[in-house]
Amino acid sequence: MFDALIAIGSLAIWLFGLFDCARTDQDRVRNLPKWAWLLIIIFFTAVGAIAWLLVGRPKSIASPRPRPGRMIPPDDNPDFLKQL
């Protein structure tokens, strides 16, 4: 039973790494070209996928949270007044 869990987890990590690398833009890949990462992931399965996640995957850029817009009544809204 434990062996089956390890095999399923390994397959899940491998598939996630493979699809994540395949969908990543070539310009955002770190340290190696995209084709090299794909070969590493295919030939080294879970170890290659973990290496991709730790070393090759692009760092996510945290975007600032959008501030909720302030409601402007129609008589103070210049865009609305231009339409009249």
- Domain ranges within the chain, ordered by starting residue: 2-56
DSSP H or E run through 41: helix 34-51
Q: How many CA atoms lie within 13 A of 70 on its CB side?
A: 4
The structure tokens listed for 64 are 């600032």
Q: End-to-end alpha-carbon separation of the chain, Å? A: 72
- Is the pTM higher than 0.85? The answer reads no
In whole angstroms, give the CA distance from residue 63 to residue 13.
27
Mean pLDDT by 10 residues, the chain (84 residues): 91 94 89 93 93 86 63 75 80
The structure tokens listed for 37 are 């990462």
Phi-psi map region of 45: left, alpha, beta (phi>0 left; psi -120 to 50 alpha): left
